[in-house]
Amino acid sequence: MNRTAPQAAKPRVLAPGVLHAMRRFTSPTIANALEALGVVPSQAVYTNASVRCLFPELGPMVGYACTAVILSARPASNPRRIWRTQYWDHTRNSPEPRVTVMQDLSERPQGAYWGEVNANIYRALGSLGVMTNGTARDVDEVRQVGFHVFCSDVQVSHGFAHLEDFNCPVKLFDVVVHPGALIHADQHGAVVIPSEIASQVVEAAREIEQREKRMIELCKSADFSIEALDKLIPDSY
């Protein structure tokens, strides 16, 4: 079946300098910045505790989501609904920096879509890494590629893993990710940054970083007191 990608809303692409500045911060700091800007945890913009970062040494991954849906529990239909070259072309033509966000529809992953070969393919297509509720393998080989992997676990076989759809909303680790969504992810998990406040996040993160620096300096100081600490710490802590 020759399928054309559906038209999704174009993401608000930020200036490269803003994204570079975002990479200076950890994902927890970005999460704190979102809360300071009025985003509450119940709005589900943070992944849950089941996401696994395979390569924390790579630091934060920041980019726009190229979404896709896979299935690993059973073979692809014949003829296939989606051809991989269609998604490859879509990925290559998506806004940069780009990250792959892939939902496995299987109740329990039965095979790893992500390994040495796909890491090299998607790296060549300009993707910085992947976030998936599916599994991965070839851990040492993928590490050498420098490709970020956020997944549910590792698994020895690729099983039946195949593409089912792309450029559509996906849900993984309790978060809904729309095509083009801005993702910030590190060893703690991932944050989906709402586009309407994305340009304000860096400044909010800087303010939080400075405030926390003052708290920590006080804790290490000979002038430490509960009263002084209470004045520095906001009610959210």
The pLDDT, as a whole number, for residue 11 is: 62
DSSP 196: G
Task: For the chain, give every domain's residue range.
Answer: 43-195
The pLDDT, as a whole number, for residue 231 is: 87
Task: Name the strand (E) or helix (H) holding 32.
Answer: helix 27-36
Give, in order, the Cα–Cα distances in Å from 169 to each of 85, 90, 181: 20, 15, 10
The pLDDT, as a whole number, for residue 237 is: 61
CATH number given to 43-195 = 3.50.30.40
User: Angle formed by the axes of helices 27-36 and 198-220, to 10°?
Assistant: 110
The pLDDT, as a whole number, for residue 117 is: 98
pLDDT tens for 56-78 read 999 999 999 999 999 999 988 87
CA atoms within 13 A on the CB side of 20: 3
The pLDDT, as a whole number, for residue 189 is: 98
The pLDDT, as a whole number, for residue 77 is: 81
Per-residue pLDDT of the chain (237 residues; tens, 9 = 90+): 334 444 444 667 888 889 999 999 999 999 999 999 999 876 779 999 999 999 999 999 999 999 999 999 998 887 776 788 999 999 999 999 999 999 999 999 999 999 999 999 999 999 999 999 999 999 999 999 999 999 999 999 999 999 999 999 999 999 999 999 999 999 999 999 998 898 899 999 999 999 999 999 999 999 999 999 998 887 666
The pLDDT, as a whole number, for residue 78 is: 72
The pLDDT, as a whole number, for residue 4 is: 42
The pLDDT, as a whole number, for residue 130 is: 99
**CB of 13 within 8 A of CB of 94?**
no
The pLDDT, as a whole number, for residue 166 is: 96
pLDDT tens for 101-125 read 999 999 999 999 999 999 999 999 9
